[in-house]
């Protein structure tokens, strides 16, 4: 924190002045379910005090603790609190169950939005859906003894084309794992499901919220199929670096 902040604040200022409470070694995710007490850290002596912590003092650092004690001391309950984290299970699941608002930081998001809005990806995506439609129509057609060979040949060709389009789209994101939010078949991934479960909002970095007023009301469109960011985004919104 000294490295990141204090050279911009002046030699007499401490980064701890920026925060109401500073907690270190919280041992997440146990922090959300345990009943470990808080300990006040002596910055100069490098020791921990064993007196009971009933209040959080300015510019102090506290070790360990648990969510239950934290809520009792701060009285920060309900949707007035928003918790930022970049790991769904160790960061966001506990605060979400405690009734706080949660914001997921997903670093891969910007690249995925850029990829899925590219012409090459849109082409393969449209191709994939057309093939799916053709396969559905073909399955509803009853093959006769006269056209059985042609039926099988067409079925194999369509399946090959679909497999090829799926592979191309996967490699545009990650050759080993594909996209973060959707599966190779275009369905919601397990990661997307957990985002719905534990995150009220998600973004690629916290600085994105600087573009909005604190009173801004964020909500998802009603007609989304997978995730809000799967809406078509104009290319003019992307910056080239």
pLDDT score, position 38:
94
Q: Which residue has the higher pLDDT, 189 or 21?
A: 21
pLDDT score, position 241:
43
pTM for the full predicted model? 0.71
3-state secondary structure the chain: CHHHHHHHHCCCCCHHHHCCCEEECCCCCHHHCCCCCEEEEECCCCEECCCCCCCCCCCCEEEECCHHHHHHHHCCCHHHCEEEECCHHHHHHHHHHCCCEEEEECCCHHHHHHHHCCHHHHHHHHHHHHHHHHHHHHHCCCCCCCCHHHHHHHHHHHHHHHHHHHHHHHHHHCCCCCCCCECCCCCECHHHHHHHHHCCEEECCHHHHHHCCCCCCCCCCCCCCCCHHHCCCCHHHCCCC
* pLDDT tens-digit readout, 122-159: 888 788 888 888 888 888 877 677 778 888 888 888 88
Lowest mean pLDDT among 4-8, 22-26, 73-77, 202-206: 4-8
On the question of pLDDT at 226 being above 70, the answer is no
Average pLDDT over residues 19-29: 89
pLDDT score, position 56:
93
On the question of pLDDT at 14 being above 50, the answer is yes
pLDDT score, position 224:
60
Q: What is the mean pLDDT of the chain?
A: 82
On the question of pLDDT at 229 being above 70, the answer is yes
User: Residue 113 and residue 208: Cα distance in Å, rounded?
Assistant: 15
Asked whether the beta carbons of 47 and 11 are under 8 A apart, the reply is no
Average pLDDT over residues 56-60: 89
* pLDDT over 90, % of the chain: 12
């Amino acid at each position: 924190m000294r490295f990141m902040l204090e050279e911009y604040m002046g030699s007499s200022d401490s980064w701890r002045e920026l925060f109401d409470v500073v907690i270190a070694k919280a041992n997440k995710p146990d922090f959300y379910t345990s009943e470990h007490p808080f300990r006040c850290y002596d910055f100069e002596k490098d020791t921990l005090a064993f007196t009971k912590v009933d209040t959080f003092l300015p510019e102090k650092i506290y070790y360990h603790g648990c969510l239950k004690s934290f809520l009792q001391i701060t009285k920060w309950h309900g949707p007035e609190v928003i918790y930022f984290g970049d790991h769904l299970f160790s960061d966001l699941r506990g605060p979400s169950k405690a009734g706080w608002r949660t914001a997921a930081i997903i670093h891969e998001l910007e690249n995925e939005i850029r990829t899925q809005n590219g012409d090459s990806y849109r082409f393969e995506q449209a191709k994939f859906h057309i093939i799916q439609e053709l396969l559905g129509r073909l399955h509803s057609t009853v093959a006769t003894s006269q056209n059985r060979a042609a039926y099988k040949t067409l079925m194999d060709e369509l399946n090959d084309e679909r497999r090829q389009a799926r592979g191309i789209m996967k490699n545009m994101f990650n050759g080993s794992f594909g996209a973060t939010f959707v599966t190779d078949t275009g369905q919601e991934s397990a990661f997307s499901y957990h985002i719905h479960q534990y995150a009220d909002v998600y973004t690629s970095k916290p600085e994105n919220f600087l573009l909005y007023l604190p009173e801004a009301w964020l909500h998802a469109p009603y007609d989304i199929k997978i995730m809000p960011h799967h809406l078509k985004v104009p290319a003019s919104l992307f910056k080239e670096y």
